[in-house]
Amino acid sequence: MVEGSMTQGAGQEPVVRTATLRDFRVPPYAQTPVPPQAQAAPPSPVPPRAPEPNPPAPGASAPPSAPPPVPPRPPHPGNAAVGDGQPEGYTPTERDLPVIRRGDTVQVRTAPEPRPVAEGSRGPLYVVGDVHGYLAELIAALGAQGLIDADGNWAAGNARLWFLGDFTDRGPDGIGVIDLVMRLSAEAAAAGGYCKALMGNHELLLIGAKRFADTPVNSGAGTATFQAAWLLNGGQKTDMERLQDVHLQWMSRLDAVVEEDGHLLMHSDTTAYLDYGSTIEDVNDTITAILTRNDADECWDLFRKLTKRFAFRDEGGAQAVRELLTTYGGQRVVHGHSPIPYLLGEVGTEDGEDGAGPVINGPHVYADDLAIAMDGGVTMAGKLLVVQLPLHD
């Protein structure tokens, strides 16, 4: 995240500087508190859905006399923060990447298979993890898979390409990324394939920052604004300056969930999608309708829910995935949002003297092999992942 102070709307009282959680953690306004008894109890076979939280707004801080403790990771399908909070102002860098405890981690190297050439056949399926404005890395990764040529034009015929969301913020050229995806969508369609994209939480954040700016929203506690949250989450002023209506319209119409070849594709590793419908069509229609109504509080609630993460990582995670697959279909969930380095193990020392850092060679397969994580941590000197599905060992 980016350091900053919460901005204030006209007539608002001054607000204090916020101690923020960084990208790989659940922001305070998206955390789900876990009751003490739930932390001590053994996991149940079917973990209950977490209740909707009423957390502090990004601009609110705890009373100095009683800072809230960070709860231990709960034994249920997550959406909770990792322990051991980082100091204010911390931003992940190459030198302080986490010590990895690989355990049962499965990272799969992938290689393109020969593409079918029969006319009218369905081409191979590719997915792209979080880009976050790293246009040069995206072009290199797409080129390495043969999806674009040396001039950046679509070169994959009838291949199918899905982006999992989060095109902007933190990196240098988020609008350039959106422009590339929009152009490739037209070129792929003309070639008999397609290039499509899903809604990420940073798309919601950018839309909200543009539409609502410093308008206070009902965060449940204190004052929050989309503008402040966007800046604190890596919003780039150059992106805002170049943002046009065509970009806003394109982002606002993105689907949130799709199923392709038995893969349930979504941006966030959360079960919050279940709050928006019992079918894929219902979820997408509901979210589109929320953005169309243009209500700041309703949009904030949507952003907050889709910012939750880690639902599939710990005990009960596989059951959380099964709940989504049973509801929406598919055999595996494929998601971005949570960087693989933080799904693999705990954060190491800040100075990184032991030299241990993540080597991201491919997606992270976990939750009883039911979930595939695709955010390679490009914002943390990791890797921007573009892979073909299904994965081949």
pLDDT at 244: 98
pLDDT at 6: 33
What's the rounded mean pLDDT across residues 29-41?
45
Task: Output the CA torsion 220→169→193→287 (10° steps).
Answer: 10
- Give the SS3 label for residue 80: coil
Phi-psi region at 330: left, alpha or beta (left = phi > 0; alpha = psi -120 to 50): left
Cα gap 5→27, rounded to integer Å:
15
Phi and psi torsions of 211, nearest 5°: -75, -40
Residue found under tokens 């209500």: 295
Q: What residue type is 263 in one-letter code?
A: H
pLDDT at 19 over 60: no
Q: 62 or 254: which carries more pLDDT confidence? A: 254
As a residue count, the chain comes to 393
pLDDT at 219: 79
Cα gap 283→275, rounded to integer Å:
8
pLDDT at 392: 76
pLDDT at 156 over 80: yes
Q: How confident is the model at residue 31 (pLDDT cuts 50, 70, 90)?
A: low
Helix H or strand E encompassing 204: helix 201-212
Q: Count other C-beta atoms under 10 Å from residue 117's C-beta.
A: 9
Of 375, 320, 273, 327, which Cα lies nearest the Cα of 75?
A: 320
pLDDT of 335-357, one tens digit each? 999 999 989 874 433 333 444 55
What Cα–Cα distance (Å) separates residue 158 from each residue in 119, 188, 309, 391? Answer: 9, 7, 33, 19
Q: What residue type is 119 in one-letter code?
A: E
Cα gap 230→289, rounded to integer Å:
22
Cα gap 167→197, rounded to integer Å:
10
Is the Cβ–Cβ distance between 391 and 334 less than 8 Å? Answer: no
Q: What is the DSSP letter of 335?
A: E
pLDDT of 188-219, one tens digit each? 999 999 999 999 999 999 999 999 999 999 87
Q: How confident is the model at residue 258 (pLDDT cuts 50, 70, 90)?
A: very high
Terminal-to-terminal C-alpha distance of the chain: 34
Domains and CATH numbers, the chain: 121-389 (3.60.21.10)
pTM as predicted: 0.72
Cα gap 165→199, rounded to integer Å:
5
The DSSP string of 45-100 is SSPPPPPPP-PPPTT----TTSPPPPPPPPSSS-----SSPPPTT----GGGPPPP
Q: How confident is the model at residue 100 (pLDDT cuts 50, 70, 90)?
A: very low
